[in-house]
Structure 1
């Protein structure tokens, strides 16, 4: 596994201020970094437990690798995971059900009817626990995927797993997909430094400023549904500033009125927000009603139900549901107007909360 670019050594003096960390999408995601880079990341001097790769604040990661050593304790497994660039210690807590001791006399004496072919919920539950234990109890040489925050314990970098499971990959499909995807993430995101200078803020266009104003309004008010006239007045200062800067030392020129400019700016901003999946219209009608994707719980529940149900089907059991299949199902069940960008935002939110996982490429499944 080749590394695209060496990890940048962070200078504490150049560490971005903590107020800017939330502007970086990597901060709220499970970063798929190579183990070598996780081991060499610099810890923040402002907030312990936050690390930096190339100015990107990171505190939780996603790793796929081979188990090279194993230690078991009463409450957790300790796996050494090797992804080809290095080995990192992963602390994987046991499920409470795995720690329960089973009484063999209890299971043999009370459920003799299962031997005669009758359905026994207790026996089926026992089989389910055994299947779950096989996915959580790995041996040396098996493939493990683990997600969780990065910690430093006794001067050793390790991952405190919030989710982990054994990956059955006999023909190395998952590993090949991983090795193709991670270098691309480095090129497109991780190796590009976070821009937090004041010059980048002043260079924003009116549409960019309008986007920021509307999105800030969504977050502050927890808006889930709105109409254009609900946010139109918020953009009034942008038009006023623009007319003042263009009218100084210039003769008035005939053109669109302030009201027309405001409506045009709002229209263009809503189009961009729609293309990026931030908003969408569930039903297209004369009454323009928009849904905010991040606040639409009905859409989130629908996507979860689709993945949960279809992942049980034989066709999607191994690899998971493709994003185009999920999009088609959402349009049939929920709304024809949901675009791929909006669905990707919902999937990313579900994945960040560990409700779903991406198996390979654009495929998603549930635990």
Structure 2
């Protein structure tokens, strides 16, 4: 039986993520060699950052390409006119705000989230962001991506039970 890839964050390189096959369903689904994937994990450098009231949009470059990412923020928490502090806010919104502070130009990040389509472009709806302090993490991620693709992700689907 094939491992269900749509249930996990697959470690993937930008070039592979951006070349996934898109099935025009509602919502769109994404295929890697005929197998559905829904979540991804990337490691790379922040090369673009655009913060708005309700979201933070940024690009992650891993050396094979640039992946657009979006981190949704709670606009009520960000509103400077509210008197409530972080303790009165939604904890998920507070976590998103804390993660958004880690996203700075030139930083090395690990990003995990759901693969989505926006205006015809594949992007990541970010679930979590981790600042990586060890520069070797990027090379280790590349190696893991290659190994996992060979051993898990790119296996042909099994044809019935034997």
* More strand, by proportion: 2
Stretches of structure 2 that go unaligned for 5 or more consecutive residues are 88-93
1:128-155 CA-partner distances (Å, limit 9, x unpaired): x8xx74x522221111221111111111
The match for 1:39 among 11, 18, 26 is: 18
The residue aligned with 1:149 is 114
1:136 aligns with 2:100: yes
For 1:323, the equivalent position in structure 2 comes to none
RMSD: 2.6
The match for 1:158 is 123
Q: Is the 8 A contact 2:14 2:65 kept in 1?
A: yes
Moved over 3 A (4+): 45-48, 95-98, 100-103
SS of alignment partner, residue 18 of structure 2: helix
Q: Structure 2 length normalisation: TM-score?
A: 0.78
The Cα shift of 1:179 comes to 2.3
With a CA cutoff of 8 Å and minimum separation of 6, indicate the structure with the bigger relative contact order.
Answer: 2
1:29 equivalenced with 2:8 (yes/no): yes
- 75 and 27 in structure 1: CA distance in 2 versus 1, 3 angstrom threshold: same
Q: CA deviation at 1:160?
A: 0.8
- Which TM-score applies when normalising by structure 1? 0.37
Gaps of 5+ in 1: 1-21, 104-121, 123-128, 204-367
Q: Which has the higher helix share?
A: 1
The Cα shift of 1:98 comes to 6.2
Aligned CA distance change for structure 1 residues 139 and 45 (closer, same or farther; 3 Å): closer
CA distance in 2, matches of 1:24, 1:30: 13
**How many residue pairs end up in the alignment?**
149
| 1:166 shift after superposition | 2.5
Q: 1:93 aligns with which of 68, 72, 87?
A: 72
